[in-house]
Homo-oligomer: A and B are copies of this chain.
Amino acid sequence: MKPEHVIVGGGSTMGTGAPVISDAVRWGDLVLLSGRAAVDQATLTVTSPEFEPQARAVLADIGTVLGEVGSSWSHVLRVEAYLAHSEDFAAWNRVWTDHFTPPRPARTTIVTGFGVPGILIELQVTAGIEAR
A contacts, CB < 8 Å to B: 1-3, 5, 7, 14, 16, 18-25, 27-30, 32-35, 74-78, 80, 82-83, 86, 89, 92-93, 96-97, 102-117, 122, 124, 126, 128, 130-131
Question: Does the CB pair A108–B92 fall under 8 Å?
Answer: no
Question: Does the CB pair B32–A130 fall under 8 Å?
Answer: no
A-B contact pairs, 18 of them (CB 8 A): A1-B128, A2-B74, A3-B75, A5-B104, A18-B102, A20-B93, A20-B97, A22-B103, A22-B104, A22-B107, A25-B78, A28-B128, A80-B124, A83-B115, A109-B115, A110-B112, A111-B112, A111-B115
Interface class of chain A by DSSP:
mixed
